[in-house]
A and B are shown apart, each in its own frame.
Chain A
Amino acid sequence: MSTIRTVEAPPDARGAVRRGRSDRARPRRRTWRQSLRRDWQLYSLAVLPLLFFAVFRYLPMIGNVIAFRRFQPGGSMFGENWVGLRYFKLFWHDPTFWDVFTNTLVMGLLTLVFCFPMPIVLALLLNEVRSRRFKRLVQSVSYLPHFLSTVIVAGVVMQFLAADGPVNQALHHFGHSPVLFIQQPGWFRSIYVSSELWQTVGWGTILYLAALTSIDDNLYEAARIDGANRWKQTWHVTLPGIRPTMVTLLILNIGTFMAVGFEKILLLYNPLTYPTADVVSTYLYRMGVLSNNFSYAAAIGLFESLIGLVLIVSANQISRRTVGTSLW
């Protein structure tokens, strides 16, 4: 607020009227000086948000220099002295890093394979529902898990898989002895992906349902006249109609590939399940925040972010060339 208040008040009415008139007759391109004089109030509104982006988004990006410099807790946030690629070489030769890297790829791939197509399928199924009330009900219920905190979801998962939980009750019913799912590395990926599916599949349909309503009815009409049955209509009209949405969301999903549900894994994993559950982001969290190897963890983090950036830029590029849809 202070930035706004300290600037002296403008000659309001006259300025406004003059601006109104010049709007109509203005040249296409103004110089910076003219723009600043004319729109300084607008620019002033951008000052605090820009300050936010500078401090909390771009400063941390610069803060990544500690990946190349020795950092001491309590010292400068940009580190003490230059050590070059020392920390990168360190993690490059760290077998644990490659384990968690592999886990990240596997988990990212599983998430992509299951959590990307399922909302499309669900949206198509919902689109065929005739009864509005039933459709509403399914939508309301399936959106719900999206609004639950990750902590709640983790809690629900643990109770559900507990020794006295519903899954083990069912196993018991079939004469099976209880399985401690949450402590077995073999189960972690399935648990993670199913819980992710549970939480995201409903909410993920929204954009597809929106895209479905924007498909021109005449296309279906024409397809019917050409003798297309429901299935063929879906294949030749509906799917091409939602293709831009699919591609856009696919690119975004690929962009978050490396960041696989960090918070949820942090809540669900434990040392027993590290062999399958530990991913790059959880490893660097333990390395940095818990063990104070900040520079080492920052080097891993920078590597991870760069991979993410490369992934999304190349996905975008490929999609622009092949299907003509892109984010930018």
Chain B
Amino acid sequence: MVILDRTRIETGEATRPPGVRVSRGYRVFQVVNALILTGIVVATLYPIVNIVARSFSGDGYIRSGKVSLIPRGFNVTTYKAVLSNGAFWTDYRNTVFYTVVATVVAMFLTTCYAYVLSKKDLRGRGVLVGVAVFTMFFSGGLIPNYILVTTMGLRNSVWAIALPNAVSVFNLLVMKAFFEGLPAELEEAAAIDGLNTYGTLWRVVLPLSKAVLATMVLFYAVSFWNSWFTAFLYMDRSDLFPVTVYLRNLIAGATTSTSVGFSGADAGVAGANIQSVTIILTTLPILAVYPFVQRYFVSGVTLGAVKG
């Protein structure tokens, strides 16, 4: 694949020079195009805004199908009920804990391996790359993995979540591509100054790689924050669930508003929009950082597109 010009991607510069004769047909197209794209924006946001509106709406308005984009019968009763719920907070804390541990493990392994793979004249490098890339196309499958994690006794511990998904090959290749782009002279200079390989990696390479490290941390953190199936498979007790599994049980009806722990009066009030409220609270951290980190994600993906 072609090496990409990243600055142009980030500024979103148009490919074609402006100021060229514009035909009437093309002007009509511009208008239609703007309408289509506006339609896409609306279609993307509508379901999300609807959830937000529901989360603040009154029970009766929701059940009679009167809430679409604006909250009706505005109240925060359900928010209060969910936020004062012990089980919700336990699972929210679990999510934070799992995300942090899994991201640290993943970053350590990925950084070490990517650095090794970025050394072009290392003997056996091809094999080391192959070991990782092959797993992108063939995997052991669900059942052997399940048996492995169970046999190793990892059930009900953070390691069942952190270890089996510790290295994402895609992220590995992104990082490798970045390390390969660093000037070799810097590392040679570091070696002459008496730094060994570990020292070079820690004191020279990593400080120069802050941008890609931040991107990788975000990639991993978001994927662990969002993951639910691993926990669903390996966690047997509800006080070990991440909040995604809590939400899944709520949606699947395995947990009702009463069994979540709402007392009589609250349960009635919380009934109709408890799912919406939980959805909002679960996604909130991601929605909050999204506008600021979005471009890191984009640059990470385009960097990974350079053939691995």
Do A and B make up one complex? yes
B251 near A154: Cβ-Cβ < 8 Å: yes
Instruction: Report how far A23 CA is from B191 CA in the complex, Å.
Output: 11
- Cβ 8 A contact of A46, one of B128, B146, B195: B128
- Closest approach, in angstroms, between the C-beta of A286 and any C-beta of chain B? 11
User: Is there a chain A Cβ closer than 8 Å to B259's Cβ?
Assistant: no
What 1/0 flags go to A292-320 for Cβ under 8 Å of B?
00100110011011001100110000000
- Cβ 8 A contact of A150, one of B8, B9, B116, B228: B228
User: Is there a chain A Cβ closer than 8 Å to B207's Cβ?
Assistant: no
B34 near A129: Cβ-Cβ < 8 Å: yes
Instruction: Report how far A206 CA is from B10 CA in the complex, Å.
Output: 11
A-B contact count (CB 8 A): 326
User: Is there a chain B Cβ closer than 8 Å to A49's Cβ?
Assistant: yes
User: Is there a chain A Cβ closer than 8 Å to B265's Cβ?
Assistant: no
- Cβ 8 A contact of B201, one of A13, A45, A57, A157: A45
Instruction: Report how far A304 CA is from B139 CA in the complex, Å.
Output: 10
Interface residues on A, range: 35 or more
| Interface residue stretch chosen among B38-46, B76-84, B85-93, B209-217 | B38-46
In A72-104, which residues have CB < 8 Å from any B CB? 77
Instruction: Report how far A198 CA is from B40 CA in the complex, Å.
Output: 9
Which of B3, B275, B279 has the most A CB atoms < 10 Å from its CB?
B279
Instruction: Report how far A140 CA is from B295 CA in the complex, Å.
Output: 9
B141 near A206: Cβ-Cβ < 8 Å: no
What 1/0 flags go to B247-279 for Cβ under 8 Å of A?
110011000000000000000000010011011
User: Is there a chain B Cβ closer than 8 Å to A255's Cβ?
Assistant: yes
B122 near A164: Cβ-Cβ < 8 Å: no
| Interface residue stretch chosen among A60-68, A106-114, A183-191, A271-279 | A60-68
Since A50-B128, A61-B138 are in contact, a sample of 18 more A-B pairs with Cβ atoms closer than 8 Å, ordered by chain A residue number, is A15-B196, A20-B191, A20-B192, A42-B119, A45-B115, A45-B198, A129-B34, A150-B226, A159-B50, A164-B272, A263-B229, A284-B143, A285-B142, A289-B142, A298-B141, A302-B141, A305-B140, A309-B137
